[in-house]
Structure 1
Amino acid sequence: MITVLETGVLNSVQDAGRFGYRHLGVSTSGVMDPVALRCGNALLGNAPDAACSEVQTFPFKVRFDKDVSLVVTGAQGVLTLGGRKILPWTVVTARMGDVLTLERPVIGARMYLCVCGGIDVPVVLGSRSTQLRGGFGGYLGRPLEVDDEIAGTGGRVPDGFGAIPPSEGLVGACVEEKEKTVTLRAIPATDYALFTEEAQARFWSTSWQITAQSNRLGYRLKGGALMLKHPIELRSYGVIPGLIQVPPAGEPIVQMADANTAGGYPRIATVIEADLWRLAQARIGSFVRLQRCDHAAGLEAMADVEKYLKSIQENSALYRKSFIRRDAGQTGKKS
């Protein structure tokens, strides 16, 4: 059992997402940073979609009521367990009674607390993720609150093993620290040709600032209006995370994990799936630049992500296996 001792608003239980129900108006939800989730689960030997706690407001503090292995991925900041500092992206073991504290990150926006076996909440429509607007899934369909007791399947794995964060381990995951700007690859979308040539050029050349009106539904960007060649009304169409829409005011909105399932604003581009984790870790007030690419480049980038995650999964499995062999050998010597 994990008891929440301190939390901010909108921290929640999430997994890889709720798929197969968008035609019924149910959004995907799930973690904003899927690479962080899958990496944490790989390090612990969990299923790739095992549920975790997504933390986006700090500090976040929990107490463990039994021994359990854990890893904190995503954003990087000060982490303490049982009064001692621990490293992010590294497996550690919490003892019964230990308190884990996640302080506000210095790099990135969201942290992910993954525990061995995953967080055990009811499966609703095929997922354990919290649908905050719908009020279902996750822990009682709402954000986590002080004194909540979250069940975990529990278990331990060898600790002291970690992973290189994707910001260092993936090609193209660069951030220009001077401007706090992250570059995102995007593919022109269905309505791209409806925008003026000036708007198209500005879309790719502008450093767009993430405004305070951004959340799990979408990131609103500020940097100037993008104009259409002619006013137009579109029929509603399906919406997915990463799609960049341009409402009448002219400033783009990037759809995120809790995106609506349908919309009608003109579509100028779509951020490739391989880069959505980087946008999820971009903080309010920071900047993004869009870099044009095509479908082939998007598929190649996603293949790089899968290769990175497969490497972590395989190395973690070898590490755990080596401990099993060592323990078996020590037992044989004693007997």
Structure 2
Amino acid sequence: MSITVLKPGLCTSLQDRGRFGYQHLGVSPSGAMDELAHRMANLLVGNTQDYASLEITLQGPTLRFEQACLFALCGADLQARLNDQAIPSKRPILALPGSTLSFKGRLSGMRAYLAVHGGFAVEPVLGSQSTLLRSKFGGWQGRKLERDDQVPVRTPLHLTPGSQQQLEEFLGAERIYMPAALNPAARDQIRLIPGEHLGLFAASSQQRLFGQNYRIATSSERMGYRLEGKPLFRQHDLELLSAPTSFGTVQVPNDGQPIILMADRQTTGGYAKIGQIAAVDLPQLAQLLPGTNVSFELIRAEQAAQLDQQRESALQRLSSSLESLRAQLSKLTGP
């Protein structure tokens, strides 16, 4: 069973939750930029949250399902259409053999995530199916999808006319319980935890960090978001040791313009770490387009941890509510 790429779109790549344990060897974790959308899409098709999904950036591909497949889309609204009929996001959708998925155009957000029941049959590299595009390994042949690719799906659905009707009726009647924490309203400000080097910056620069709007530079991408605004200055020109980086670390190079490290970040960095984006706000940040504005709100680490735990609890509740879907699908899969 496979999905055939008729048109590749702008940038569509396989991503999971990341490749961890190899930063000391210089290997970036990579993974989904909007991890929340990625995890939700997998839950909605009966997977665990660790399966890879297709990360679709801005301009979606055109894909043909060669066999019956259950899929879900979360994240950006790119106006998905199945056989030229509009379909909703955040719901499991049944695609029959020969069905074509396309995208009319962006309405909101930047990245959508397509998960399929059973995941993609792609061999992991260093324990992950994520694509590290700069290094050209992992995922689907170490690259973004191209025309005529046939990406295999691991677990086909075995449908008879009777079981197809039964599954369609089940999906039509299934009510998806979506906790509020998984559908938050967009915030005016991204929450930022003070970094270990915040005190190295002049008081005026610390105030400026939380008092001005930054523009996300057009050069921003999966490795990092470069911000443009009034520069931040350190009080003392001290040499800093290189240290491990993490998703959402805000570094300030010598030009005073902050850089937010994203999924494909470098493994270590020697610039001053002025702050850390709260994990709960990383999905919103990942959906912002270059050229848009962003500003920051101060938050304590304890508050950020509590918000993250609330989101994890909400994901667990969503998973529990989908037990009947998983039971239904187990009847339709096999070797």
Asked if Structure 1 and Structure 2 have the same fold, meaning a TM-score greater than 0.5 normalized by the shorter chain, the answer is: yes
CA distance in 2, matches of 1:232, 1:222: 24
Residues 162-189 of structure 1 show CA distances to partners (whole Å, capped at 9, x for unaligned) of: 75778xx22894436xxxxx42111111
Equivalent in 188, 202, 205 of residue 208 of structure 2: 202
Moved over 3 A (4+): 154-158, 160-166, 171-174, 318-321
CA distance in 2, matches of 1:252, 1:165: 35
Give the counterpart letter for 1:170 in structure 2.
A
Give the counterpart letter for 1:272 in structure 2.
A
Work out whether residues 27 and 261 of structure 1, in 8 Å CA contact, stay in contact via their aligned partners in 2. Answer: yes
CA distance in 1, matches of 2:251, 2:60: 33
Aligned residue number for residue 272 of structure 1: 278
| Secondary structure of 2:171 counterpart | coil
Q: After TM superposition, give the deviation of residue 33 of structure 1 in Å.
A: 0.6
The number of aligned residues is 318
Comparing 302-311 with 237-246, greater Cα deviation is found at: 302-311
Percent identity reads: 35
| Secondary structure of 1:302 counterpart | helix
Aligned-residue CA RMSD (Å) = 2.1
Give the counterpart letter for 2:186 in structure 1.
V
In the superposition, the TM-score normalised over structure 1's length comes to 0.89
Give the counterpart letter for 1:253 in structure 2.
I
Q: Spell out the pairing of 1:15-164 with structure 2 (5 A cutoff).
A: 15-156=16-157, 158-160=170-172, 161=174
Whether 1:298 aligns to 2:309 is: no
Give the counterpart letter for 1:60 in structure 2.
P
Give the counterpart letter for 2:171 in structure 1.
D
| Secondary structure of 1:80 counterpart | strand
Work out whether residues 18 and 29 of structure 2, in 8 Å CA contact, stay in contact via their aligned partners in 1. Answer: yes
Work out whether residues 43 and 162 of structure 1, in 8 Å CA contact, stay in contact via their aligned partners in 2. Answer: no
CA distance in 2, matches of 1:27, 1:103: 33
Whether 1:232 aligns to 2:238 is: yes
Q: Mind listing any 5+ residue stretches in structure 2 that lack a counterpart?
A: 158-166
Work out whether residues 178 and 318 of structure 2, in 8 Å CA contact, stay in contact via their aligned partners in 1. Answer: no
Q: After TM superposition, give the deviation of residue 83 of structure 1 in Å.
A: 2.1
Equivalent in 186, 193, 212 of residue 187 of structure 1: 193
Give the counterpart letter for 1:50 in structure 2.
Y
Q: After TM superposition, give the deviation of residue 17 of structure 1 in Å.
A: 0.7
| Secondary structure of 2:294 counterpart | strand
Work out whether residues 91 and 162 of structure 1, in 8 Å CA contact, stay in contact via their aligned partners in 2. Answer: no
Aligned residue number for residue 170 of structure 1: 181
Q: After TM superposition, give the deviation of residue 72 of structure 1 in Å.
A: 0.7
Give the counterpart letter for 1:299 in structure 2.
A
Equivalent in 290, 296, 301 of residue 284 of structure 1: 290
The 1:4–1:208 alpha-carbon spacing in structure 2 relative to 1, beyond 3 Å, is same
Q: Mind listing any 5+ residue stretches in structure 1 that lack a counterpart?
A: 177-181, 328-335
Q: After TM superposition, give the deviation of residue 295 of structure 1 in Å.
A: 1.4
The 1:135–1:165 alpha-carbon spacing in structure 2 relative to 1, beyond 3 Å, is farther
CA distance in 2, matches of 1:19, 1:209: 31
Q: After TM superposition, give the deviation of residue 320 of structure 1 in Å.
A: 4.8
The 1:46–1:185 alpha-carbon spacing in structure 2 relative to 1, beyond 3 Å, is same
